[in-house]
Amino acid sequence: MPEPIEITFLGTGSSTPTPQRGHPAILIKYSGDHMLFDCGEGTQIQLQKARVSPMKIKRIFISHWHADHFAGLLPMIETLHLQNRKEPLEIYGPEASRFVDAISELSYWGIGFEIKTKDCGEEDMEKILDTENYEIHSIKVDHSVPSVGYIFKEKDRWNIDTKLAKKYKLSGKDLKIIKEKGIFKGIKLSKVAKLSPGRKLIYSGDTRVSKKLFNAAKNADLLIHDGTFTEPMESRAHSSVKEVAKLSKKYNVKKLVLTHFSRRYKSVKEIEKIAKKIFKNSIVARDMMEMKL
C-alpha cells in the first residue's frame, strides 16, 4: 500500500470569512512532511482543531498576495518565534522574498529562525521543489495579481516482485543496486519490478478557468479548484462551478474538490448539485474536511 497523502481543508471561504468558512488554507501531510498551501487569517486556530502543531510546518506555498491567502503568516511566524523554533521555514510564492521581507520587518525583536524564500511564477511552469519522494511545480494562473497554482507530484516507484527476484537469484543487496542503477549483472529493473505511477494533486489558488492549468491537471488524482461562483462572472477574476466541473470531466480528473466560496451562498447544497450534475466525482469542501489519497 502506498503511503497516504493526507489533506485537511483548514479554510474554504473567500475574501470575507464567515462563521462557517475561514480564509483559505490547506494542510498536506506526506512522508513525514507537513505543508501549508495558503495561510489565511485564523490558520493557527484551525491547525489547533486539527491537532497539528505549527512547529511541524516545514513549507508554506502562497498562491498570491491577497490578504485572505496570506494574513495568517505574520501571527504564525510570531508563534514559531515564541516557541523557540530553530528549523528553517520555507515560503514559496510569486514575489515571496519581497512580501516575506516586509512581514519580517513588522517584529520588534526579529525572528529567531531562518526563513528561506523562493520566488516563483516568472515561468509558465517550473519545478520549485524536488525531494526523495515528491516534486512540486508552480504554474501561472489567471487572476487579478501575479498568482500561481501548485502541482504536487509523487515520484514513480518500482515495486520489486519477490518471485521474480528469487527466479533471478537476487539478494537484498542486489535489489538495492538494481533499484538505484536500473540494471545489475545484465538484469534490468523492469524484469523484476513493476512501475507504479506517482499520484498527482493540483491546487489552483484563485484563478479564472485556465487551459494551461487543466492541461497540467489531465488525469490528476485530485484537483482542488477555485469555485467562487456558480455561474461565470467576467468582472471577477475567479472561476465558476459549471466551468470547472465541465473541464474536470473533459480532462479526466479523477476527483474534483471545489473551494473558495463566495459568502453570498448561505448553503452549498445548490453548488454541489450543479457540480455533480456535470461531473459526478465532485466534492464541495468544508472547513476541517479531511481526505486521503
Active site residues: 68
DSSP category for residue 128:
E
Distances (CA, A) of 292 to 9, 34, 35, 200: 12, 14, 15, 13
Cell numbers describing residue 236: 471577477
* List of E strands, the chain: 6-11, 25-30, 33-39, 57-61, 89-93, 115-119, 125-130, 134-140, 148-154, 157-160, 183-184, 187-188, 193-196, 200-203, 222-226, 256-259, 282-284, 289-292
Backbone angles phi, psi at 237, to 5 degrees: -90, 55
Distances (CA, A) of 104 to 91, 122, 182, 278: 12, 23, 46, 45
